[in-house]
Structure 1
Amino acid sequence: MTLTAWIDNPVTDRGLSFWKGERWERFTYAELAAGVRAKATEFRSAGVESGEVVPVVLGQSPEFILSFFGLLWAGAIPTVLPVPKSLGGSSGYTQFIVGLAGVGGVRHFVAEPRYRGTLSAAFDSSGRVVEALEPGWCSCAGSVATPNTGTAIMQFTSGSRGNPKGLRITHGNVEANLAMIREWLSLGDHVGVSWLPLYHDMGLIGGLLSPVTVQAEHKMMSPSDFVREPLRWLLEYGRHPFAVMFMPNFGFEWVVNLVRPEQLKGCDFSSLRSVISGAERVQLDSISQFGALLEPHGFKFTALTPAYGLAEGTLAVTGVRPGQITRAVDLGRTAVPFGSRVEIGQEVEISGAQPLRAGWLVSCGTPLAGVELSIRDLKQQPMPERSVGEVWVRAESVAESYSTEDGPLDTDRVDGWLRTGDSGFVHDDELYVVGRIGDSIKIRGESIHMEDLEGQLVDILRPSLFRRSCVVGSASEGQPVVTVVTEFVLEPAERATIGEILTGILGTTVELRWLQLDPGELPMTTSGKPRRREVWLRHLAASIVPPTLNAG
């Protein structure tokens, strides 16, 4: 099934709905397909050529569907970008756009009117002539598709670790991953209600392309609408037979914190078959308490389906199968060094609410159909079960190259295997992800992951504050340093307990530092992960507070 097959044979009895602040606005797939074909004609008339990279800055709207699929229908390559405020203000955004324009050879862009001026100014500063395209409906005659079997979508990094680079995801990559997702989730006529940003792979591939390519009934709302009214989003699942949710961990936390049980009176969640948690480490308490909130209204814990994926794999790599109980393992009050064998203390099947506890990892399930998974050591050799190493992936969905200003750059592959840069282990054929290898520090010859250290602190930091903190590892004058970063004041007793825990894991040769930021100052990625390297570089010279507790 191709990305655009639905445009040739659209249905009239199912469609997409978009939240407009007070009501849902619905369009059938037949209406949207006609709009896409007309939009492709308009884009071609404006000079858009096959193979051209075209940035798209539009939210969850029918205009996004027309523009994104209109570009695909015209043979162009859409790249969905965050809005200016998502990249730290106008100066950071301008730098990002200038780099992107040079990499992609951009000649046109599509954006909401409120962002058009910022984008035009940014493109002007790149020295390129870039024209704005209109995003709305048009009265042009429909056209036939312009075949483009090469790159379908380009996904750009934000450039936080250097100049932007565009991941080239081919039609074959996307279609292979969508087929894996369809087989995994058994997608039916009703998928769900997505609020995930469309510039993120989970939002675009999972929250949009998955339902659209099967022409399922589906709804979309903006991230800000979800944050303002999580109950409204949840009630859609309680009142309609939607079967799938896609969310990062903080979404479950947000719902549990803001939705009261009595507000779900009359809801029926029995149709909900798959609740996918991904994009960041899955927290046992978050998904289990979300399940407990819905359970009195027909929800089954077998619908909890945590997953693992990454942009270079298009999206999904592994996932717990719907109908299977999700498992979690207790690794105790200790870190899990790279190369070590995991000792599992306890193992539970998630069938009820669990408290916030340190040392627990949640399974991300088994490889999807067509995916091969391997855990490798530093010598690139396969490792046995329960051994922590780098996660390697091989599948048709794995992208092969990036575009950079210096030319094409291969993704990090060895004999067809993608080196993900993530560490994890396999237990009973299921993947448990430990953390990013780049976010680790060498202690006594072993790599300790910052996510692992953070996981040891979850029951010390108050749950409502846990997401406003992180741990950063680095070196200062050759000495390893671990910095605890918060957007709030740590009480003396909390600081003392944290110091004892980290010293017990890291030993006495690591310097422990403390850094308090202003609220909202902790830089995050588009998927809600802390930018640890940026924290360290931004505050290294002036803002690191001399420690009152020192592990050395």
Structure 2
Amino acid sequence: MDNNLFSLFSVPTFSEATLVDLLRKRALQQPWLVAYTFLVDGETQEVSLTYQALDQKARYALRQASGLSLAAFLQSMKATGERALLLYPPGLEFIAAFFGCLYAGVTAVPVYPPRRNQRMTRLQAIAQDAQATLALTTTSVITNLAQSWKQEPELAALQCIATDDISNDLASNWLKPEITSNSLAFLQYTSGSTGKPKGVMVSHGNLLHNSALIHKCFGHTPDSHGVIWLPQYHDMGLIGGVLQPLYGAFPVTLMSPETFLQKPFRWLKAISQYKATTSGGPNFAYDLCVDKITDEQRSQLDLSSWEVAFSGSEPVLAQTIERFSATFEDCGFKRSAFYPCYGMAETTLIVSGGLKTDPPVIRFVKDKALKQNLVETATADQEDTRAIVGVGRSPLDQKIVIAHPESLTKCRDGQIGEIWVSGLSVAGGYWKKPQETQQTFNAQLQDTTEGPFLCTGDLGFLLDGELFVTGRIKDMIIIRGQNHYPQDIELTIQKSHSALRPNCGAAFSVEVEGVERLVIVQEVERSYLQKLDLDEVVRAIRQAVSEQHQLQVYAVVLLKTASIPKTSSGKIQRLACRDGFLNGSLDVVGDWTASLQQIDLLQLQQEAEAQCDSMHSKDESQTDGKSFKPAFTEEAIAQGALAEPIATWVVSHLALYLKVSPDEIDIQQPFATYGLDSAVAISLTGELAEWLDCQLEPTIFWEYPNIKVLAQYLEAECHQQREDSFIGV
């Protein structure tokens, strides 16, 4: 390791013992500095918080009308030491509530509020596991979830508090809680099993140490500026997007994930507008920008200020780096700004990263050997090669070793094994799970007796100090940066149709054209083998997975009874199922794979849009001094002629997203029938809103059951929004 890298990764130091100390310091020294700006609409509508205002919201008043701080309110309830669920949509209210908990000595448990009519299985499991007694949220969320909330005993027992409507009929003074760097700050529940959720115990010391690492690795200064769309309830969005700017005393502009997914241009536009130096996300976000941002939109961007384009949370692909760099080079984007990194909730956030000024490290290896967990270096022009991207090095006071999964001995350089980590950023274990904590957080190398180490469950190797991640030992499925436990998906599938055998299925992911896709392998009940309706079973599986996990199924393989690979003790061998799927060795009775039919979907879309364009008004109207261009003519609306072309548009675009023929889509079938996942639904909403010139909520595809009903609603909504514009609402 050269001297420059040694200097960069020197041991971080910080004088504050807790995040409470840090925010109080910022509020006293830089009270008027804007800390957080949230783009309500993802574009121009802003709300902001200074350090002083945030301190006061957490400590003194959430509203000017309230004389009682959230922290003091919680202290008055004797809540110190309790766990509180934070159920907030993206925005500044979440940040104020998070710090309000810290100021009161309450352990925050960030979770995302379920959509209306969505099952609350995961939320119930987290509330029960965390032993939460409180839920902090907003009045609107309480209203939306009131009926469902009462029906779930774990949730009904919580004291639910709308922090935007705290009464001021009590008088109380805030007292600084007796907390230290070792005190628990929050529980980070990783996206995973609803049956056995695991809350990572993150202390104030963990957060400050990891924040110092990020600050050093990313080269942040008070002149830095962040733009973050990542979920605030997730470690990457919370620690990287909210706490890192606080640690570095630089401003950050925030937006919701939905506004990005609806219109990816908003992300890069914000970077351009606010001259951001740091921003990023999972690999899929960069691909989405390349696929969705038009030439006209690119002409409006200036990305020359972007110094750190971090990429993490899912495998970083070399082709994505090259595509994005080439596409946005004319906008001032520098390829050297790409910053592949690696981390996880169990290490607070970051584990490894590179030099800010260096380009990404890309190596070529033999693909066949890599699939066998062997590393054979190659050159780009050789056959059967794969480009793999390095995710940086470990800071000096944090150690990465590669351990042999079976012998638990240290692997040599260039040898694949499990990635183990030790250091002050490693969290304190899993909440109330001593056995799992011992297994995961207290590993020891058998040949050197070094330890304890965190076992990440990821496979990788070190080459000249650079870390390369190659796969996973654990069965976790990672799609678009989100973790999904296969056993949850498998249980959903086995309940979806009576033809499927219980405890005889496997869910896993495979890489297809550089993207992780979900595959289902499932045994069929013997009594159904002669009368199997493949289409019906596949449709039931896709619908169930879409409804309960918001995932799109890529392939379904139905197996002969008693043929799925199992261990001698009866456990499903998911890896063997995956290998069997890839090499075609499974005993298949029926299968289905999503594939793009040989039809001209683009032509169908153009015909649908032309049909609606003929109904657009060509004239601009003047009302109350405001110029308004109605989306459709009064004649078209009066004749009820919009629903049909809108339905045609949705059918054609849904078919394109799902890579199926439009003939397979019935406008009266539920959306979930087609395996519609959350990212597709939100992205479709954004495109539909732009085409209709109409404001739409990102959850609209979940609010209306099928295309026919949605089209009828949109026809009425277009008319209403047009009327509102004319009367100046």
Alpha carbons of structure 1 residues 102 and 228: separation in structure 2 relative to 1, 3 Å:
closer
What do residues 136-157 of structure 1 show as CA deviations (whole Å, max 9, x unaligned)? Answer: 2867877342132311110124
C-alpha distance in 2 between matches for 1:164 and 1:255: 33
Whether contact under 8 Å (2:138, 2:164) holds in the other structure is no
Q: Which amino acid aligns with 2:177?
A: T
Whether contact under 8 Å (1:318, 1:368) holds in the other structure is yes
Per the TM alignment, residue 254 of structure 1 is displaced from its structure 2 partner at its CA by: 1.2
Residues 1:9 and 2:31 are matched in the alignment: no
What do residues 444-489 of structure 1 show as CA deviations (whole Å, max 9, x unaligned)? Answer: xxxxx976x52xx427xxxxxx46x335689999xxxxx9x97569
Residues 1:133 and 2:161 are matched in the alignment: yes
Which residue number corresponds to residue 329 of structure 1? 363
Q: How many residues align?
A: 477
The unaligned stretches of length 5 or more in structure 2 are: 1-15, 61-68, 444-450, 478-506, 526-537, 543-551, 557-577, 595-672, 680-729
Whether contact under 8 Å (2:457, 2:472) holds in the other structure is yes
Whether contact under 8 Å (2:26, 2:249) holds in the other structure is no
C-alpha distance in 2 between matches for 1:157 and 1:389: 23
Whether contact under 8 Å (2:127, 2:155) holds in the other structure is no
Which residue number corresponds to residue 62 of structure 1? 92
C-alpha distance in 2 between matches for 1:161 and 1:335: 36
Whether contact under 8 Å (2:88, 2:141) holds in the other structure is no
Per the TM alignment, residue 271 of structure 1 is displaced from its structure 2 partner at its CA by: 2.1
1:458 to 502, 506, 513: 513
Per the TM alignment, residue 407 of structure 1 is displaced from its structure 2 partner at its CA by: 9.0
Residues 1:234 and 2:234 are matched in the alignment: no
Which residue number corresponds to residue 372 of structure 1? 399
Whether contact under 8 Å (1:97, 1:123) holds in the other structure is no
Whether contact under 8 Å (1:37, 1:142) holds in the other structure is no
Which residue number corresponds to residue 81 of structure 1? 111
What do residues 400-450 of structure 1 show as CA deviations (whole Å, max 9, x unaligned)? Answer: 321248898444421311111010111221111111212399xxxxxxx97
C-alpha distance in 2 between matches for 1:130 and 1:206: 30
Which residue number corresponds to residue 102 of structure 1? 128
C-alpha distance in 2 between matches for 1:45 and 1:188: 36
Whether contact under 8 Å (2:365, 2:375) holds in the other structure is yes
- The 5 A counterparts of 1:247-286 are 247-265=281-299, 267-286=301-320
SS of aligned partner of 2:339: coil
C-alpha distance in 2 between matches for 1:523 and 1:407: 34
C-alpha distance in 1 between matches for 2:421 and 2:81: 28
Which residue number corresponds to residue 403 of structure 1? 431
Alpha carbons of structure 1 residues 45 and 364: separation in structure 2 relative to 1, 3 Å:
closer
My pick for the range that moved more, 6-15 or 65-74, is: 6-15
Which residue number corresponds to residue 520 of structure 1? 675
Per the TM alignment, residue 184 of structure 1 is displaced from its structure 2 partner at its CA by: 0.6
C-alpha distance in 2 between matches for 1:123 and 1:450: 33
Whether contact under 8 Å (1:248, 1:278) holds in the other structure is yes
My pick for the range that moved more, 114-123 or 144-153, is: 114-123
Comparing both structures, which one devotes a greater share of its residues to strand? 1
Whether contact under 8 Å (1:207, 1:246) holds in the other structure is no
SS of aligned partner of 2:368: coil
Whether contact under 8 Å (1:14, 1:215) holds in the other structure is no
C-alpha distance in 1 between matches for 2:244 and 2:202: 16
Per the TM alignment, residue 51 of structure 1 is displaced from its structure 2 partner at its CA by: 1.7
SS of aligned partner of 1:334: helix
My pick for the range that moved more, 312-321 or 226-235, is: 226-235
2:54 to 32, 40, 55: 32
Q: Which amino acid aligns with 1:121?
A: W
Per the TM alignment, residue 105 of structure 1 is displaced from its structure 2 partner at its CA by: 2.2
Per the TM alignment, residue 122 of structure 1 is displaced from its structure 2 partner at its CA by: 6.0
Per the TM alignment, residue 243 of structure 1 is displaced from its structure 2 partner at its CA by: 1.0
Which residue number corresponds to residue 382 of structure 1? 410
Whether contact under 8 Å (1:334, 1:505) holds in the other structure is no
Comparing both structures, which one devotes a greater share of its residues to helix? 2
Which residue number corresponds to residue 178 of structure 2? 147
What do residues 267-292 of structure 1 show as CA deviations (whole Å, max 9, x unaligned)? Answer: 43222111111111112222322222
What do residues 486-538 of structure 1 show as CA deviations (whole Å, max 9, x unaligned)? Answer: 75699xxxxxxxxxxx99996675667844475435699xxxxxxxxxxxxxx
Whether contact under 8 Å (1:34, 1:142) holds in the other structure is no
Whether contact under 8 Å (1:245, 1:274) holds in the other structure is yes
Which residue number corresponds to residue 534 of structure 1? none
C-alpha distance in 1 between matches for 2:308 and 2:416: 28
What do residues 91-112 of structure 1 show as CA deviations (whole Å, max 9, x unaligned)? Answer: 3x2x333333332221111123
2:453 to 417, 442, 451: 417
Whether contact under 8 Å (1:60, 1:222) holds in the other structure is yes
Whether contact under 8 Å (1:51, 1:148) holds in the other structure is no
The unaligned stretches of length 5 or more in structure 1 are: 349-356, 442-448, 460-465, 478-482, 491-501, 525-552
Give the root-mean-square deviation of aligned CA atoms. Answer: 3.5
Per the TM alignment, residue 365 of structure 1 is displaced from its structure 2 partner at its CA by: 1.1
1:433 to 469, 482, 490: 469
What do residues 106-126 of structure 1 show as CA deviations (whole Å, max 9, x unaligned)? Answer: 111112334325377268512
Whether contact under 8 Å (1:261, 1:293) holds in the other structure is no
Alpha carbons of structure 1 residues 295 and 54: separation in structure 2 relative to 1, 3 Å:
same
Whether contact under 8 Å (1:43, 1:71) holds in the other structure is no
Whether contact under 8 Å (2:518, 2:555) holds in the other structure is no
Q: Which amino acid aligns with 1:283?
A: L
1:216 to 230, 241, 250: 250
C-alpha distance in 2 between matches for 1:323 and 1:523: 36
Residues 1:176 and 2:206 are matched in the alignment: no
My pick for the range that moved more, 271-280 or 297-306, is: 297-306
Whether contact under 8 Å (1:98, 1:122) holds in the other structure is no
Alpha carbons of structure 1 residues 334 and 260: separation in structure 2 relative to 1, 3 Å:
same
**Identity fraction in percent:** 27
Per the TM alignment, residue 9 of structure 1 is displaced from its structure 2 partner at its CA by: 3.4
Whether contact under 8 Å (1:167, 1:403) holds in the other structure is yes
The structure whose RCO (Cα within 8 Å, separation 6+) is larger is 1
Q: Which amino acid aligns with 2:130?
A: G
What do residues 382-406 of structure 1 show as CA deviations (whole Å, max 9, x unaligned)? Answer: 1112211100111111113212488
What do residues 1-33 of structure 1 show as CA deviations (whole Å, max 9, x unaligned)? Answer: 432212343221332111122511222222221
Which residue number corresponds to residue 393 of structure 1? 421
C-alpha distance in 1 between matches for 2:158 and 2:508: 42
C-alpha distance in 1 between matches for 2:524 and 2:398: 41
